[in-house]
Structure 1
Amino acid sequence: MPASREAVWLALADLWLDTEITATTLDAIVCTLRDSGLPLAELEQIFYYEVAPVVWRNAWSVAGEWSGFDPQWLREECGRNQQRGRWHRGKCRLLRWPMTYACSEHWQQIRARLAQSGGAPL
């Protein structure tokens, strides 16, 4: 059974937690993304335009969330971002670096693993 979009949101949000990202964490995220059946291009849209705008401030916080984001809150916020249009996407492009600096290396590793496994179409 494919992972839902909500599962993708929850998995990607882990990249912004105030914890060390281990190989096990990356494996779990890759598995969820692969199981979603979504193409890599759509997963990137979710990463940049749906999840990052919701959780990025945690990476800039002195005492950020480390135990996990509230799933209901995350679903609601990411769902709103999914529905937003050009203005939101433009704002996200302008803020891409501050929103993703803390996890861009991990995102590249995830992308490479997905491409290697052939799990998510490019």
Structure 2
Amino acid sequence: MHDPTDLEALLERRGALWLALSPLWLEREPREHEYARMLEVIEAQGHTPQELEMIYRLEMAPVMARHQMSVAGEWRAFDEDRLLLDLARHTRRLQGWRKGFWLLFSGLTTMMSRPRFNVLIERLQVTAS
């Protein structure tokens, strides 16, 4: 079992990014201020588009797709504490065969949010140039 401080360190390192990117999975299109927040956090943390792709596909998509499928009715917001804990638990176990599995199936888990993620990457590239 992992030391609980690992969980805290992971949440400290990724929590703001995960919360910023979470509107990519809402049932509505992200708003301008949400895209602006995503870009602000990404730029502050210095992630490359390639790093973001892996965070999106491996760390976030498997958990977020499950949240999407499990919520009935309108899906407008997340329980942030539960979401962060689910993301951190998933990411801590993301090694060996699990990493390969999620990489292989990431096309399915990103299918609904991929167009929005692509918009984010385009906006990131515009602000970087």
Q: For this structure pair, what is the TM-score category when the shorter chain's length is used for normalisation?
A: 0.7 to 0.9
Aligned to 1:16: 25
CA RMSD in angstroms comes to: 2.3
In the alignment, the residues of structure 2 paired with residue 93 and residue 38 of structure 1 have an alpha-carbon distance, to the nearest angstrom, of 19
Aligned to 1:109: 119
In the alignment, the residues of structure 1 paired with residue 60 and residue 113 of structure 2 have an alpha-carbon distance, to the nearest angstrom, of 12
The structure with more radius of gyration: 2
From 22, 29, 33, give the equivalent of 2:38: 29
Tell me if structure 1 keeps the 8 A contact 2:20–2:34.
no
Amino acid paired to 2:98: H
In the alignment, the residues of structure 2 paired with residue 12 and residue 108 of structure 1 have an alpha-carbon distance, to the nearest angstrom, of 12
Unaligned regions of 5+ residues in structure 1, if any?
none
Equivalent residue pairs, number? 116
TM-score by length of 2: 0.74
Unaligned regions of 5+ residues in structure 2, if any?
1-11
Greater share of residues in helix: 2
In the alignment, the residues of structure 2 paired with residue 59 and residue 72 of structure 1 have an alpha-carbon distance, to the nearest angstrom, of 16
TM-score by length of 1: 0.78
User: Structure 1, residues 3-57: CA drift from partner, whole Å, max 9, x if none?
Assistant: 9521101111111112232333322222222222223322222111111111113
Amino acid paired to 1:48: R
User: Structure 1, residues 44-95: CA drift from partner, whole Å, max 9, x if none?
Assistant: 221111111111134445525312x222222222222322202222221232
Percent of aligned pairs sharing the same letter: 26
Tell me if structure 2 keeps the 8 A contact 1:18–1:58.
no
In the alignment, the residues of structure 1 paired with residue 41 and residue 49 of structure 2 have an alpha-carbon distance, to the nearest angstrom, of 13
Tell me if structure 1 keeps the 8 A contact 2:58–2:106.
no
Aligned to 1:50: 59
